[in-house]
Amino acid sequence: MSGWVVVMVIVTAAGTAVWRWRRVDCPAAGAGRASVWLGLRMAAIAGAAWVLAGHGVAEREAGEAADDGGAVTLLVDTSASMSEADVVGDDGQAMSRWSALTAGWLSEAQLGRLSEAGDVRVLGFDADVRPMETAGLADHEPSGDQTRLFAALDEALTSSAARGEGSPVFVVLSDGHDTERGRDPAVTRRLAEAGATVHVVPVGEVDGSPGLAVQAWVDADVLLSGETTMLHVQLWPRGLGEREVAVEVSYEGEVVASRRVWLDEGGVTEAVAFEIEPGAISGGLPGLPGAGGPTDGVRGLWGDEDGDGGAEGGGVTVHGYEVRVSPVDERAGDEAEFESSTARSVVFVQVTGDRLRVLMLEGEPYWETRWLGRVLRDDAQVALHAVHQLGGGRRIVQRPAAGGVDFDADALDGAALSAFDVVVLGRRVERFFPGEAARGLVDFVREHGGAVVLARGRPFDVTTEAGAAAMAVFEPIAPVEWGEAQVAGLALRLTEAGAASPLLQFDALGELADADADMADVLTTRLPGMLAATRVVRERSASVVLMRQAAGDDDSPGMAAVVQLSAGRGRVLAVLTDGLWRWAMLPSELQAYETVYHLFWSRAVRWLAGAGDFLPGQAVSLSLERLAVEPGEAVGVTVSTRYVSPDFEPRLRVTGPSGEVRAVTLARDDRRASSFRGSYQSDEAGVHRFELTAAADEAGELADVSAEARLMVTERSVERLDPSARLSVLAELAAATGGKRFELGEAGRLLADMADRRLARTEAEPTRPRSWSGLGRWQVLAMIVGCLTLEWWGRRRAGLV
């Protein structure tokens, strides 16, 4: 009820009461009693006036959301493209997109005014979304190498719904980049259905010239000879229109594989995948554009002059693949777009031709190591050496037919272990490493990057003097602390870390059995359980548990069953239970899962051999912190050695794309005397070739030590490859959600919009009198009813009613 209507009602009621007092009550009952009745009626009218005057002021019940229509979420783009200096300031000078925002919309003064006008949250987004501190935004450096604009909006919408906000308002301050996709209609639709409003503040200039950005990467950049990996290619076209192009993979200018891809203007194309096997042909050699299916086999020989990929000769070779994009249909001006540096990419893969050298030591032969040995002997890329201790101190030594190394089974010191990539320990190995001799195992892992497998739990028999002393020495690399009690009848359970581990991701499992089965289900309901295990007292803080074990009726998480530990430069993988060998002897109804046991151990050995500092067969390794960097970005270089002379001094030189040769200074690592560190930095785009050499020392050892590596210096981030603003994406987003487009100098318009929205929300919401929720609702009602009742009672006593 409007104010003037309330005044008229109150004045009319009061005037009527006074008229009745003078004309009726005073003559009939006298001025005294009539005045009392007039006072009671005026009190009732005053209470009614209070109620009517309070009408129109909305107040919330307890627990009601406190949204007054002023809640706004600012989504601020913090990706690298925001550092592009293409905004002209008031002084006519060019400034970065980020500086333009922090000078206006994100200035402390503007953010302060927004906070006074309503509930304002500031979220930064690039590859992920996170709250931002509003203080010192001008000093922030936008550096994200991805922009997930629509994913950020989707996450912000979910967060607003969780807070109970109806019709949320978002303000996107961005250049419109989304490296994940150009547009996302599904997210736009969800925003509209939720009643969300998305205002946009576009920043940056649109580059109208056509262009193309290409990124290429491989799943694994270190392979054994004969192994394959996937090479992925992603395209970001701009201004090329809808057309077909050929994605070509080449070696030294010769195209060895090609796929045709349709470019969709304004969007990101789906990644193209090629299966590559360096030094070999996988699945045929497609030679024409469009040949092959979803993945094409590729032969790559860069860095391997004899063409065998290192398979026979051993050693480590580097294979390079160049990816180019060429037009299928010729158009005017194509040369510039498709010959630019952003339209091609180079990736490198290191391949070792040496077989994995594995040493298995078993002091008490048992089924576990018997079946494990069979798996490793059947693996063509593993050279298994085994030593089994029999009664009477007799030892059986088994060597592979090819790829073996000479070692003395009776003198397994650190020098002997250094010839192997992985050492597998069974039980009672104190017979090989009594007491302090176990120090060789610890140094093999921690100092020299070796890998150890505990195939049968605790490797030493602590009931013997030699075993207890050896276990004390071995303790620093033990992933758990064992007790003495034995636990039987155990069932395995997959942990979250295990589900994500490559050792337990069996992609072929669905084809072998139930398409809906996963590893967790197979472990708990299909594969045989374990027999027994020594109880684990404590897990090391650095250990990662892949599987746990517990009795079938035990609801607790259980104790560790399979665990990994990074120790120094190497790794330890421990199977802490007895019975894994039963997976290799499955009954006929479970034959669909017979490969699980083989896959687990084959992957484990490869993972362990490739996880340390050394590739199989390496005595000296050269590793780069990254295989691709941007111009001017430094990359760390590490040279690691295994059991080499203290006088060893590596020499490293780098040949740049232009042929310029530079020496890299290497300094001995203070933490590890067997490692050397340095760094390399260049502004020259292209391939940089690293060569490590060392002269012979006085003893004549390591005379032919050498290693190579490749580094690609290029713009890797599409944020920098193509920083052109996508203003049309922002315009479509605002139009689809009923939002507005604000310019850089229009920060004040948002304040007005917030005020209008708050007023509209207030007028649209049902309201209730303030008196009924604030000032004692029942007291006011009782006062009105009481006054009218007393007046009626007095009139009745006087005979006027």
Model-level pTM? 0.52
Query: Does residue 526 belong to any structural domain of this protein?
Result: yes
Distance CA 48, CA 633 (A): 77
Distance CA 81, CA 704 (A): 47
What pLDDT, on the 0 to 100 scale, is given for residue 658? 84
Query: Does residue 609 belong to any structural domain of this protein?
Result: no
Query: Does residue 649 belong to any structural domain of this protein?
Result: yes
Domain around 682: 620-716
Same domain, 661 and 788: no
Alpha-carbon torsion (438, 440, 446, 450), positive or negative:
negative
Same domain, 327 and 432: no
Here the CATH number for the domain that contains residue 123 is 3.40.50.410
Same domain, 731 and 776: no
Query: Does residue 615 belong to any structural domain of this protein?
Result: no
Same domain, 293 and 146: no
Query: Does residue 625 belong to any structural domain of this protein?
Result: yes
Count how many domains the chain has: 5
Last residue of a domain, one of 544, 576, 604: 604
What pLDDT, on the 0 to 100 scale, is given for residue 699? 46
Kindly give the residue spans of alpha helices, DSSP state H, lying in 93-243. 97-103, 108-117, 149-162, 185-193
Here the CATH number for the domain that contains residue 417 is 3.40.50.880
Same domain, 736 and 706: no
Same domain, 567 and 584: yes
The string of DSSP letters for 483-511 reads EEEEEEEEEEEE-HHHHHSGGG--TTHHH
Same domain, 453 and 551: yes
Same domain, 267 and 288: yes
Same domain, 107 and 218: no
Same domain, 425 and 571: yes
Query: Does residue 260 belong to any structural domain of this protein?
Result: yes
The string of DSSP letters for 514-569 reads -TT--HHHHHHHTS--EEEEEEEEEE-TT-EEEEEEEETT--S--EEEEEEEEETT
What pLDDT, on the 0 to 100 scale, is given for residue 125? 92
Along the chain (801 residues), what's the average pLDDT of each consecutive run of 10 residues? 74 86 81 83 83 53 44 90 85 88 89 84 90 85 84 90 83 84 80 90 79 78 74 81 85 80 71 77 31 41 39 60 84 64 75 80 85 85 87 82 79 81 90 91 84 90 92 91 79 80 61 52 68 79 85 75 85 85 77 76 79 60 76 84 68 87 85 77 84 59 62 69 78 90 86 72 51 58 85 81 72
Angle made by CA atoms 412, 414, 419, in degrees to the nearest 5: 85
Last residue of a domain, one of 334, 352, 370: 352
Same domain, 265 and 316: yes
Query: Does residue 730 belong to any structural domain of this protein?
Result: yes
Distance CA 694, CA 347 (A): 27
Same domain, 550 and 695: no
Q: Are 352 and 615 in contact (CB under 8 A)?
A: yes
Here the CATH number for the domain that contains residue 679 is 2.60.40.1930
Query: Does residue 614 belong to any structural domain of this protein?
Result: no
- Residue 753 DSSP code: H
667-668 vs 272-276, strand pairing mode: unpaired
- Using left for φ > 0, alpha for ψ between -120 and 50, and beta otherwise, residue 449 falls in left
356-362 vs 382-389, strand pairing mode: parallel
What pLDDT, on the 0 to 100 scale, is given for residue 77? 92
Last residue of a domain, one of 352, 386, 403: 352
